[in-house]
Amino acid sequence: MSGVIILKSEELWDKFLVAMQEKMNPISFNTWFKPLKLQELNTKDNKIIIQVPMGVHKTTLETSWHQVIEETLQELTGNTFELVYVLEDLQTAKEKSDDKVRSKKINEEVFVTNLKKEFTFDNFVTGDTNKFAKTAAIAVAEAPGKIYNPLFMYGKSGVGKTHLMHAIGNYITEHSNLKVLYTTSDSFKDDYTSIAGGTNDNSFERAEYFKNKYRDVDVLLIDDIQFLVGAEKTQQGFFHTFNELHDKNKQIIITSDRSPEDLKLLEERLRSRFTWGLPVDIYPPDYELRCRIIRDKIRYLNLSTMMNDDVINYIANSCDTDVREIEGAINRLQAYTAVYAPSNITLEFAMEALGDYVNNNIYSISNITVVQKAVADYYGITVEALKGKKKSKNIAYPRMLGMYMARIMTNESFPRIGLEFGGRDHSTVIHACDKIEEDLKDNKQLQEIINEIKTKI
């Protein structure tokens, strides 16, 4: 075949890694590509088998990097390969795990982690608003202290920060013998201030207790760091704790309700350290993710057969702020169902059960989902197409119009609209709105289309 370059397996793999390294930042390369191994290069069948260390690598390569890998290999060889990702041999993985356990000796006494075992990666429902945070969390759990240190997750209450934090801790304790401690900033503050409050007789013991608890660990998880605001002495204590752990390459994971730069009342030296690793924000769940969370919850409660899509859509549209609101609504609906024992949970029953818990005027124009459905129906396409990645004109223009109408007919922000349209950046929404406004100056038919769509909302 003309244009085909013949390379030895090892030579090709080395050139491939160099090429991939040039196409991404060092953190991405070290996380997803450096651990890979070339297991087999079959030039007869044009197949490459790549060995990956963990399932998250396989998933990420298949979903996020597959096309880039194919293109890079074609650039290097002039040929197209079938890519196959296989997990590292289980025996090898077990031996590595055993080595980790043997290499890390801890006290025989029971170490209290404070972790909640029910929070795992498996039961964390993923969507566009939180998938980056989950991917980063898994990467940290698989290589604590080596990347993203500290991992700083921020977002409003109820979006899943604490769940991911516990999932990291649980994963590490299950796959290693490392000492993991979960705590809140309030607990840290209480322990630190107790040192100053102790008597001369026990002050040394209290100081040793504090040091052993917080600095003799391999992984420190500290929740709601924003509550250290105003506690200047405790901030000083955390500063020294952070430095000692970080200097020893111990993993630190922090959550907050706002970004490091927005924690204005924390010491600047702390805020700067929070950005050393990876700050990652988690947005409130979009409509699609809310539906997934609801389905996951009702399946767990054995309510799936009693509840149709109308009820799921109702809850998803009514509870649009955070996961806790969704869980509260479902728990209330479950209790209502237990008392009145209906044969099926209808939309009317759900609205009665949740009447004073949620806003029942959910089908007003304040909801982006309603606008999306009206636009999709007018153009004869699906809402999924509006939210998808296809750029054909028959979909791209209705998508821009949908973003524009969501902006003028709801109180939602550009970022929020972007999230509801498939996780798009706010700048994409702004561009769409500008484009439609420009078209409206010379296109009277477009205004008629908008007016007709409005009548369907």
% of the chain residues with pLDDT over 90: 40
- Could you identify the residue written with the tokens 């949908």? 402
Q: What is the residue-wise DSSP string for 317-339?
A: HH--S-HHHHHHHHHHHHHHHHH
Q: Which of 70-84, 181-195, 316-330, 410-424 has the lowest mean pLDDT?
A: 410-424
C-alpha closest to that of 56 among 137, 115, 124 = 137
Q: What average pLDDT score do residues 322-341 get?
A: 90
Residue bearing the bigger pLDDT, 430 or 205: 430
pTM value surpassing 0.75: no
Q: What average pLDDT score do residues 36-42 get?
A: 86
Domains, the chain, in order of start with CATH, read: 9-90 (3.30.300.180), 131-281 (3.40.50.300), 287-353 (1.10.8), 368-455 (1.10.1750.10)
Kindly provide the b/e burial profile for residues 278-287, where b requires at least 16 CB atoms within 10 angstroms of the residue's own CB: bbbbbbbbbb
Q: Where are the alpha helices (DSSP H) in 34-143?
A: 55-60, 66-77, 90-103, 131-142
pLDDT tens-digit series, residues 121-180: 999 999 888 989 999 999 999 889 988 999 999 999 889 999 999 999 999 999 889 999
Q: What average pLDDT score do residues 290-317 get?
A: 88
285, 253 Cβ separation under 8 angstroms:
no
26, 147 Cβ separation under 8 angstroms:
no
Query: What is the DSSP pairing of strand 37-42 with strand 47-52?
Result: antiparallel
SS3 call for 237: helix
Give the length of the chain: 457
Q: How far is CA 23 from the centre of its chain?
A: 23
